[in-house]
Amino acid sequence: MCAECGCGQNNGNTRLQFTANGYSEDNAKIIEKSLLGLPGVMYVHIHAHDGETTIDYNPKKTKLSKILSVFEDNNVDAQI
């Protein structure tokens, strides 16, 4: 659970933590901004250098397939 806002597994929210391949500094910023623009996505943190990615979202507001399409659209392989 996130210390800042309390998001995470509680209250119907889900936390995804995975490694993605294909990040650059530029596309990591684009992906982060795109994900945060989706309904129900409350937190995104990307380490472009090693691919470590964390996303907190509400699956009732945004489907996982929509999140994955953001990575696909930016040629990043998300290993969820």
Residue 12: what pLDDT?
A: 80
Residue 26: what pLDDT?
A: 95
Average pLDDT, the chain: 90
Task: Please give the C-alpha separations between residue 47 and each of 2, 23, 25, 61, 70, in angstroms, as whole numbers.
Answer: 17, 9, 9, 25, 16
- What digits encode the pLDDT tens for the residues 36-54? 999 999 999 999 999 999 9
The length of the chain, given as a count of residues: 80
Percent of the chain's residues with pLDDT above 90: 82
pLDDT band at 10 (very low <50, low <70, confident <90, very high): low
* Domains in the chain with CATH codes: 10-79 (3.30.70.100)
Residue 1: what pLDDT?
A: 46
